């Protein structure tokens, strides 16, 4: 079996900027154990979620996720939303990362 994925950094469009409330921006997750390039829907689906730490009440699902740099970089599209100090998790196949230590927020409405 493989080691679970781990997130070391989270950015939007390769900057540390805030996320737009309208969504549709490129979410970049950097880390380890993300696997080979691609999205491998049938074999190893790549998904990402984010929300308030330790709660399932406010959870956003990023879309169109794929590994773009083998093992170290996943890109997705952000969902429309609001919130501050959000944590992120990525799932590769059946293995989900721990919540990210890096926090990101939406621009205040």
- Is the torsion defined by CA of 31, 97, 23, 16 positive or negative? negative
pLDDT per position as a tens digit, 40-94: 666 778 999 999 887 666 799 999 999 999 999 999 999 999 999 999 999 998 8
Tokens 């997705």 map to which residue? 76
Query: Distance between CA 57 and CA 89 in Å, rounded?
Result: 15
Residue pair 9/88 in contact by the 8 Å Cβ criterion: no
pTM of the model: 0.92
Q: What angle do CA 105, 74, 28 make, to 5 degrees?
A: 30
Residue 15's pLDDT is 85
Is the pLDDT at 14 greater than 80? The verdict is yes
Give residue-wise pLDDT tens across range 16-45. 789 999 999 999 999 999 988 876 666 778
Please work out, in degrees rounded to the nearest 5, the angle formed at the alpha carbon of residue 16 by the alpha carbons of 13 and 17: 75
How much is the pLDDT for 40? 65
How many secondary structure helices (H) and strands (E) does the chain include?
0, 7
């Amino acid at each position: 079996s493989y080691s679970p994925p781990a997130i070391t950094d989270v950015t939007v469009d390769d900057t540390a900027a805030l996320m737009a409330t309208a969504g549709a921006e490129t979410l970049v997750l950097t880390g380890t154990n993300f696997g080979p390039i691609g999205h491998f829907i049938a074999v190893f689906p790549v998904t990402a979620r984010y929300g308030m730490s330790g709660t399932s009440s406010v959870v956003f699902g990023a879309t169109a996720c794929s590994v773009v740099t083998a093992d170290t970089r996943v890109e997705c599209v952000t969902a429309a939303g609001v919130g501050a100090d959000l944590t992120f998790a990525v799932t590769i196949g059946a293995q989900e990362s721990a919540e990210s230590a890096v926090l990101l927020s939406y621009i205040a409405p």
